[in-house]
Amino acid sequence: MTQRHDVVIVGGGLVGASLAIALDRLGIDVGLVEATPGTTMPAVFDQRNLSFAAATVNALTALGVMRKLRAAPGPIRRIHISRQGDFGRVRLEATDYGRDSFGQVVVARDFGEALEARLRELDHVTRYRPARFVALEEGGEGGRRLRLAGEAGEQILDARLLVAADGTRSQLRDALGIGAQEHDYAQTLFVARVRAEHAPDGTAYERFTATGPTALLPRGDRHFGAIHGVPSEQAANVAGLDEAAWLGRLQQAFGWRIGRFLASGERSAYPIARVVAERLTAPRAVLVGNAAQTLHPIGAQGFNLGLRDALTLAELIGQGGDPGADSLLRTYADRRAEDRQRTLAFSDGLARLTANPAPLLRPLRSLGLAAVDVSPTLQAYLVGGAMGFRGDVPALCREVAA
């Protein structure tokens, strides 16, 4: 039997689940399709440390997700950017901008559990799980028809609006005939929870070396979330290091600002590519999150940007009328353009800071970081990005967190 929904979201990861929660709040009838079985967390909710921008914290608080977190997040009260071999550095203090923090650090697994707890409370969301989007079908008058494969066989859904939230390798994006441009950074990022002589004091560190970036995020559990980028041809070697050698490598890349590195949890590795969809919409269909654009993680922008996709879409649907109308989709694409373009440039610029910097960030190299430290324009640019207030920001991001 065919099931009908106003909106069908394919992908119940970070962005798809958040969108379902935002639409439920507006009383919209939603089908949420996720390939991973209900007994397992989607793989993306792993041990990576997510830095939530202030705009994201505001929105997730309003959506009732932050209060579901079991572990306290780690506030980012200052950001420290440095480059090996460059005596300058940039130090940004949240209090200078009238705020207690620029954002919060949350472990992806904890966030997955919080989203799941919130999803279970919703009235207007039907879950299809495990169910994998397989193909678009003819039919579905006034909407889109799609075929799912699940445990009990195949199923047909009709939607007035179809949302691709199925991640970087979006099958739905392919089925809609939307191409994507890909750039391989030839870099692999290692992520681990580490402990150092000094406990986190609210500082998030970004350190650039000639071979890749290293970031340390202040978690809420007295550990740092370490991210260490290496050229991909070195990835197998780094994966094979024992704990002492791995900590030695981190120490060498990062220096001694937080004292000696003492212990590390398990390491996970992520080969990094930028994947950008050529357009954001097709008739009665729209892309959000990583399906729309996958960024280099070093700027900690991917989910923050994807959430703003989702909330902009929810805001437009909440204005009433046909959720799949061409005019709504045009407005969506227009409203997302500036934030998308600037966030892509920002993340790409940071990623290339190790080698060949993008024009916008060239001053970081040519003048040295000391100059940026006293340049209000560049500082305002960095802070705008860190807090997630760029372009036409959805209203929920502006609500003050309780």
Ligand X SMILES: Cc1cc2nc3c(=O)[nH]c(=O)nc-3n(C[C@H](O)[C@H](O)[C@H](O)COP(=O)(O)OP(=O)(O)OC[C@H]3O[C@@H](n4cnc5c(N)ncnc54)[C@H](O)[C@@H]3O)c2cc1C
Residue closest to 166 by CA, chosen among 23, 46, 302, 33: 33
Site for ligand X (CB under 6 A): how many residues? Answer: 35
- Whether 336 contacts 282, CB under 8 Å: no
Q: Does 224 bind ligand X (CB under 6 A)?
A: no
Q: Which residue has the tokens 């024992």?
A: 242
Q: Does 300 bind ligand X (CB under 6 A)?
A: yes
Binding region for ligand X (CB under 6 A) out of 13-21, 151-159, 253-261, 315-323: 13-21
For residue 199, the 8-state DSSP code is P
- Quickly list H helices, 1-129: 14-25, 54-62, 108-119
Binding region for ligand X (CB under 6 A) out of 42-50, 57-65, 78-86, 374-382: 42-50
Q: Does 42 bind ligand X (CB under 6 A)?
A: yes
- Pick out residues in 305-324 that bind ligand X (CB under 6 A): 306
Phi and psi dihedrals of 285, rounded to 5? -150, 150
Binding mask 94-133 for ligand X (x = CB under 6 A): --------------------------------------xx
Among 15, 32, 136, 350, binds ligand X (CB under 6 A): 15
Q: At closest approach, how far in Å is the CB of 40 from ligand X?
A: 10
Which residue sits closest to ligand X, CB atoms considered? 13
Q: At closest approach, how far in Å is the CB of 87 from ligand X?
A: 28
Conformation bin of residue 321: beta by default, left when phi > 0, alpha when psi is -120 to 50: left
SS3 309: helix
Q: Does 13 bind ligand X (CB under 6 A)?
A: yes
Largest CA distance in the chain: 67
Tell me the HSE value of 354 on the side-chain side, using a 13 A CA sphere. Answer: 21
Q: At closest approach, how far in Å is the CB of 90 from ligand X?
A: 18
Question: Which residues does 147 contact at the CB level (< 8 Å), separation at least 6?
Answer: 133, 134, 135, 136, 137, 154, 155, 156
Binding mask 170-189 for ligand X (x = CB under 6 A): -x-----------------x
The contact set with ligand X (CB under 6 A) reads 10-16, 33-36, 42, 44, 48, 50-51, 132-133, 165-167, 171, 189, 191, 270, 289-291, 297, 300-304, 306
